Amino acid sequence: MYVGVDYYPEHWPRERWETDARLMQEAGLNVVRLAEFAWVMMEPEEGRFTFDWLDDALAVLHARGVSAILCTPTAVMPAWCARKYPETLAMQTNGQRIVWGVRKNNCFTSGAYRLLSERITRAMAEHFQHAPNVIGWQTDNEFGHPVCYCDTCRAEFQDWLRARYGTLEELNRAWGLHFWGHYVGTWGEIPLPVANESANPSALLDWQRFYSWLNVRFQRDQVRILREYFPDTFITHNFMGFFSDLNYYDLAEDLDHVSWDNYPVWGAPRVMSDAAAMGDLMRGLKGKNYWIMEETAGPGGWGSFGRNPWPGEIRLVAYQQLAHGADGQIWFRWRTCTAGREQYWHGLLGHDGKPLRRYQEAARTAGEYHALAPHLEGTTVRAEVAFIYDYESIWALRFQPGFAENNYHAALQRYYDAFFRAGINVDFVPPTADFSTYKAIIAPDLHILPDALAERLRAYVEHGGVLLTDCRTGVKDETNLCHARTLPGLLAEVLGIAIEEYESIAGDVGFTLHGRAPLAGQFTAVHYADWITPRGAETLAAFKEWHLPDAPAATRHHFGTGVGYYVGTVVKEPAFYDALIADLRITARVAPAEIALPDGVELSVRKGDGKEILFLLNHTQQEQTVSLPAGLTNLLTGQPANRSITLERFGVAVLRK
């Protein structure tokens, strides 16, 4: 079990390094991440490499039993690079280059930048290939910015489109360029699309695909070099949860495992279901356990800082990710920096470098992790339910949400939170996944619905699967053109409905919904309403408005040997989604949680190698008592568990069957 910190020896006097390494060892921290912003320290002049300081830091850490993950430092170019090769700086939409001096300055199509990046990567890999405590590599840092609008990017975008579409005739068709007379007659006439009210949605979708591909290509160049020198060492990257400017499935493809940066502590304490969902997504990107490469260690912020994690929260945040499949965790950062833009992004140690409360809480957590490691080895989350997580629908909805409040992640979270409250683990999968391994598929806001995906979902339900989808599903094809079909298009038979009209609901208006068993009760529809005509589907909830008398708002339909659910509105009350997911779970024969959960208590289960490990996490500031089944062992005490357990505020329990 690796647990550690992000460490910046270049920020501190060398005489402090030994103290840092000793304190890490005493806290049970056995890994650090190094050098993601240290390019200029390793190549102070073009072609002259100075690794001696990093050699010394690695040696000090190694003497204390601390391993290291090295980073390719290409997220921040040296000043000499920007001065000598100004074309490496990204260009803004106004034609001005970004001014050097922040991070993520670069243009990803710049040949000079790509070559310089490969050179520092190779120099590092060659120099450190025999370092005894280097256990892994991180590529760059938080891919995703900036977007560049230079002439090189435009030329490469045109080449990318030529490879994708083959002919201008096909491009004109796919982008619908007959509209407004926007036909292009040569590849050189294609501009770089800029998102605004009048931009072509199909062009914007391809531009987003292209930009994502540029990042994937840039990383792939580095991974190829690293594997030459480190064939048996893991390579990862620090993703950013629900950040969606890139297709993370593609970015994860070349990596051994995914890592991500988890910062859920900002406002008042809350139930961190969104952080749980992001952990599940990270696990789903490669269908395997992941790492946390940066995690809340103190108040975060640049110009101003947020709330300090209260006693127990650093441990709770860490345990939540362990429960969802994190096999390695690293706090950001070790010591709060005294210089630069992140002076207020606090670490386990403050500016004074003293090992106080946050350090002690991390030490407690690390010690527990090492004791738990043998029990967790070979385990992961094994879910019976999967969410389709689709980057292309996210992108298309960003350009054209349809109704103003339509937000992909908010839609997803409504259903996810109901599973979370019920104590049922879920997976996140791409639209290309094998659905047959799951009892139920949840597909919120599946806006982009190619025919091939619709046919696969149809076959899934026809052969016994349970599908739940909702408003604005199946509106667009893969080129972001509207399907010339009555909604929900090729899923109409599966769902047993037709949607001939629809409307936005004004922000200060709510429509009344009456639920029928199993959704009995009165609810409030907000933001959007499909005008649904049943074509065999059973109504689970209906509108009670004069213009929609008893019109279905939520339906259930048997198709083949499976069932399709549809929700044609946004419901204000979480109780609606709880009842809906409870019914879906019964229909799909998804096993219920073995433990009844008080409000604010989370359950997650890891299984494997004949083991079943249950995590209980109290997100509230009150003690919570949870009834337990017989036959459990409390792994944090080593004792058989009683038939109930009391969790302190922000407390956790780890139980083994």
CA 332-333-339 angle, 5° bins: 130
The mean pLDDT value for 486-507 works out to 97
Quick one: angle between helices 574-588 and 408-422, nearest 10? Answer: 70
Whole-angstrom distance, CA of residue 89 vs CA of residue 50: 24
**Two tokens, residue 3:** 């647990």
Rg (CA), the chain: 26
**What's the confidence (pLDDT) of residue 197?**
83
Question: What is residue 173's predicted lDDT score, i.e. its pLDDT?
Answer: 98
State yes or no: cis peptide before 488, omega within 30 of 0. yes
Q: What is the pLDDT of residues 164-181, one digit of tens each?
A: 999 999 999 999 999 999
Could you give the CA distance from residue 193 to residue 206 in angstroms, rounded to a whole number? 9
> What would the mean pLDDT of 531-560 be, rounded to a whole number?
97
Identify residue 450 by its one-letter amino acid code: P
Phi-psi region of 325 (alpha: psi -120 to 50; beta: other; left: phi over 0): left
Structure letter (DSSP) for residue 194: -
Q: pLDDT band at residue 196, thresholds of 50, 70 and 90?
A: confident
Are 300 and 345 in contact by the 8 Å Cβ rule? The answer is: yes
pLDDT at 33 over 90: yes
What's the whole-number mean pLDDT along residues 312-333? 98
Each as own residue / partner, the long-range contacts of residues 549-552 (CB below 8 Å, 24 or more positions apart, any chain) are 552/497
Q: What pLDDT does 50 receive?
A: 98
Which residue segments constitute the domains of the chain, with CATH numbers given?
2-148+209-376 (3.20.20.80), 385-588 (3.40.50.880), 601-656 (2.60.40.1180)
Coil/strand/helix, residue 265: coil
Q: How many residues does the chain have?
A: 657
What is the Cα–Cα distance from 140 to 77, expressed in whole angstroms? 11
Q: Could you say which of 36, 43, 142, 602 is catalytic?
A: 142
- Supply 156's token pair: 């490469």
Q: Assess whether 342 carries a catalytic annotation.
A: no
> Cα dihedral sign for 160, 164, 170, 174?
negative
371-411 pLDDT, tens digit each:
999 999 999 999 999 999 999 999 999 999 999 999 999 99
Contact, 458 vs 494, CB < 8 A?
yes
Tell me the DSSP string of 199-264.
Answer: S-HHHHHHHHHHHHHHHHHHHHHHHHHHHHH-TTSEEE-EE-TT--SS-HHHHHTTSSS-EEEE--
Average pLDDT over residues 503-508: 94
Average pLDDT over residues 413-426: 98
Q: How many CA atoms, within 13 angstroms, populate the side-chain half-sphere of residue 615?
A: 31
Dihedral Cα 261, 266, 271, 274, nearest 10 deg: -40
First to last CA, the chain: 21
Distance CA 653, CA 644 (A): 11
Rounded CA separation 248/204 (Å): 18
d(CA 189, CA 175): 14
Confidence (pTM): 0.98
Query: What is the secondary structure of 6-35 as a DSSP string?
Result: E--GGGS-HHHHHHHHHHHHHTT--EEEE-
Three-class DSSP category at 359: helix
Pairing of strands 611-618, 548-559: unpaired
Q: Residue 244: which region, alpha, beta or left (left: phi > 0; alpha: psi -120 to 50)?
A: alpha
Q: Which helix (H) or strand (E) holds 462?
A: helix 451-462
pLDDT of residue 195: 87
pLDDT digits (tens, 9 = 90+) for 221-264: 999 999 999 999 999 999 999 999 999 999 999 999 999 999 99
Tokens 């619908």, located at residue: 176
CA angle 215, 220, 221 (to 5 degrees): 105
Is the pLDDT score of 569 beyond 90?
yes
Average pLDDT, the chain: 97
Pairing outcome for strands 67-71 and 134-138: parallel
**Residue 142 is a catalytic residue:** yes
Whole-number pLDDT of residue 56:
98
- Could you write out the DSSP letters of every residue in 36-81? TT-HHHH-SBTTB---HHHHHHHHHHHHTT-EEEEE--TTS--HHH
Provide the b/e sequence for 482-501 (b: ≥16 CB within 10 Å).
ebeeebbbbbbbbbbbbbee
Residue 611: closest CA among 377, 411, 392 = 377
Q: Could you say which of 43, 294, 313, 392 is catalytic? A: 294
